[in-house]
Amino acid sequence: MATTSPTFFCLWRDEGIRSNLLSHLDTKGMCALRLTTFECRQLATPILFARTRMSFTPSALTRPSRLEALARIGPYIQHFIFSMPHTNSTFLPPLLNPKTGREVNFLYTPHTSTASVIQRRKYGNSELGDILTQQYPPIFHAATNVPAFITSISRMPNLAHLTISCPGQDPAERYRRDAVDYALISLRIAIERAPVFRLEKLSLHQMHPAGLVYLRHVAGYGCTPSAGQRWRQVRKLNITMNSWEFNGPQPGLDHLKILDNYIRGFSGNLEKVSFGWNGSKGPCPLTIFTDPLFLLPPNHSKLFGEVTSLMSPLPAAPPQPTIHFPKLRYMQVRNAAMTSDQVADFVYAHRDTVREFDFENVGLTDGGSWEDALSPLTEASNQTEKWVSQQSGSKSGHPGSGYLSDFDIDHTERFEEPEVVDTTTTIPYEISQEVSRSSVLVTKQKKVRRRRRRKHHRSKPEVIEVSAPILASTSVMHILQPTVFHPTVSGVRRNIEQETAQRELADDPEKRASALKKAKEAVLKQLSRELCRGNERKDHLGGFLKSSFAGRNGSGVMGHQRNSALVPLIFSRY
């Protein structure tokens, strides 16, 4: 085929034509095209395996055939999707001692290398290892195989986008640890230790709140001092989380704080952030502590009502400040409930860096309007920039308006927006005021400056007439003459004798010691005089001090030693 139709391969090597042809093929058709010729395989393989999905199973990272295949396609993987849903096989029941019937607790310490496996046992001792092997499913032991995770991730040197999907968690098990959590620990350690220097985007789909604890870079769980450098590479963060009953008996405020801490850890380097609730509406995690859900009711009573000291009861702890993203350019919040003040404060704090605010299916819970919530943008607009508000999902370009969007200019890649479903018709927590719902997209647009060419008009040449020379008088010539100043320079008088004495004092250590001794005696003498003057004044007033200092012969010590006295001084050497 290569010899009969060389024109086909010339067209196939063209990137525009090849991308247009492959866009009309599904995965099955692209695999069939890849098996036709060697040239088609070379050009179709990077596109076919650029986005790879793996469902975690007990043998997903240990089967030799899969490891060989991963070694071949690993350099082509740019977007890796790690899927591990919550099922009955991932549920971990309590460990029971088969002899006593009591529950067994163990401290998990992961192995991070093969040498660590040789040095110590995986689960502490052989008895605990036998209990875990008999009572826990095989997927748990595969999830704790950290060296296998490190080996697999290390074979993806061009990984730029990591997606972690953990759907299907039962709401009743939000405070229980299962095999998915152990897999997240191993995956985090592998990301931190593998050479994935191009990682810049992280997506978490249907992630349970407790899973963020095991994905967060904290001290422990196999962390290294350089582990934080890997997560500082992330520039784009996309999170989709299943909501719960925020106004129920367990509102899950601790899980909301976990979510806030996780996003706050990326805030210094993020350029794009996107968050959405799957299910009912929930609070916005970007402004979580200003949400009415965290406001204490008026009749709130403390845990200990008794007064134990003058300082009790202690005042409420100050709220944590709102998350600030100094490098943020694009923000999206989906299926959330916010107040107009929350929107206004966040928009005002990020109006200088953000180019687009996208509030998709966001309801204003305080009865405010979007005009008031977005008022900081209208006040900050100038002649070169303009904020355009429209319905989310419509086109942002306005032909003929003289403005172009920064996203249209830069052709920035958008997030892959997962399906976020609003299954309820009410806000999950009670708000007495009216609720306003809408989807608003606010885009910063720059005015296109059109340079106008200046028209140079040809002018007629000017005729310069030369008049007769002007004869200057003697007075005018006297005024125009420069004035010559003769400053009188006075010399600086030097004291040669004083300079010679200072130079000799600096060079001779004995003279310096003698000078210091004389200065010390002068200070002591001056202090003794002041002390004697004070004693004389006291003697004139009462005579009490004179009698107390009297000697054996009736004469005071200070009588014959008027000009000297013992002064207590303390000298210390540093």
**Is residue 351 a part of any domain in this protein?**
yes
42 and 86 together in one domain: no
pLDDT at 539: 61
Domain that holds residue 85: 69-293+321-447
Average pLDDT over residues 467-491: 44
Residues 32 and 110 in one domain: no
Look at 95-104, 249-258, 552-561 and tell me which has the smallest mean pLDDT. Answer: 552-561
288 & 424 share domain = yes
Question: What's the whole-number mean pLDDT along residues 294-316?
Answer: 55
**For the chain, what is the domain count?**
3
Do residue 431 and residue 534 come from a single domain?
A: no
Q: Rounded to the nearest 10 degrees, what angle do helices 38-48 and 15-22 cross at?
A: 70
In angstroms, rounded to a whole number, what is the distance separating the alpha carbons of residues 355 and 156? Answer: 33
Q: Using one digit for the tens of pLDDT, what is the confidence trace for 206-216?
A: 999 889 999 98
Type and span of the H or E element at 392:
none
Q: Does residue 29 or residue 221 have the better pLDDT?
A: 29
Residue 268 falls inside a structural domain: yes
Could you tell me if residue 230 is inside a domain? Answer: yes
Instruction: Looking at the structure, tell me whether residues 188 and 270 fall in a common domain.
Output: yes
- Contact predicate 343/373, CB 8 Å: yes
Question: ω before 469 within 30° of 0 (cis)?
Answer: no
Report the pLDDT value the prediction gives residue 433, as an integer from 0 to 100: 37
H-helix or E-strand spanning residue 368: none
Tokens of 232: 């500082």
- Looking at every residue in the chain, the average pLDDT score rounds to 75
Q: Do residues 96 and 102 lie in contact, with contact meaning Cβ atoms separated by under 8 Å?
A: yes
Q: What is the pLDDT of residue 400?
A: 35
Closest CA to 259 of 136, 174, 134, 355: 174
342 in any annotated domain: yes
Specify the pLDDT at position 556: 45
Do both 549 and 428 map to the same domain?
A: no
pTM for this prediction? 0.68
Strand-pair category, 436-447 with 336-338? unpaired
Task: Over range 559-567, report the average pLDDT.
Answer: 46
Which of 263-277, 351-365, 378-392, 452-466 has the least mean pLDDT?
A: 452-466
HSE of 420, CA atoms in CB hemisphere, 13 A: 26
pLDDT above 90 (res 139): yes
DSSP states of 350-364:
TTTT-SEEEEEEEEE
CB-CB contact of 278 with 240 (8 Å) = yes
| CA distance linking residue 514 with residue 569, whole number of Å | 20
Same domain for 216 and 74, yes or no, is yes
Locate 379 and state its tokens. 């006040």
- Phi, psi for 276 (deg, rounded to 5): -150, 140
The pLDDT tens digits of the residues spanning 367-412 come to: 888 888 888 887 765 556 678 877 654 444 433 333 333 333 343 3
- Select the more confidently predicted residue: 495 or 190: 190
Model confidence pLDDT, tens digit, residues 121-131: 777 778 888 88
Q: What count of other Cβ atoms lies within 10 Å of the Cβ of residue 385?
A: 16
* Residue 533 pLDDT greater than 80, yes or no: no
Residues 532 and 425 in one domain: no
User: Does 346 share its domain with 385?
Assistant: yes
Cα separation, 335 vs 360, in Å, equals 6
Same domain, yes or no: 116 and 211: yes
Angle (deg, nearest 10), helices 64-73 and 146-154 = 30
pLDDT digits (tens, 9 = 90+) for 309-319: 555 555 656 77
Asked whether residue 373 is assigned to any structural domain, the reply reads yes
Instruction: Give the pLDDT score at 8.
Output: 72
Residue 470: which pLDDT band, with cuts at 50, 70 and 90? very low
Is residue 120 included in any domain, yes or no?
A: yes
Please state the rounded mean pLDDT for residues 137-157.
93
Asked whether residue 187 falls in the same domain as residue 278, the answer is yes
Residues with Cβ within 8 Å of residue 198, at least 6 apart in sequence: 157, 158, 159, 160, 233
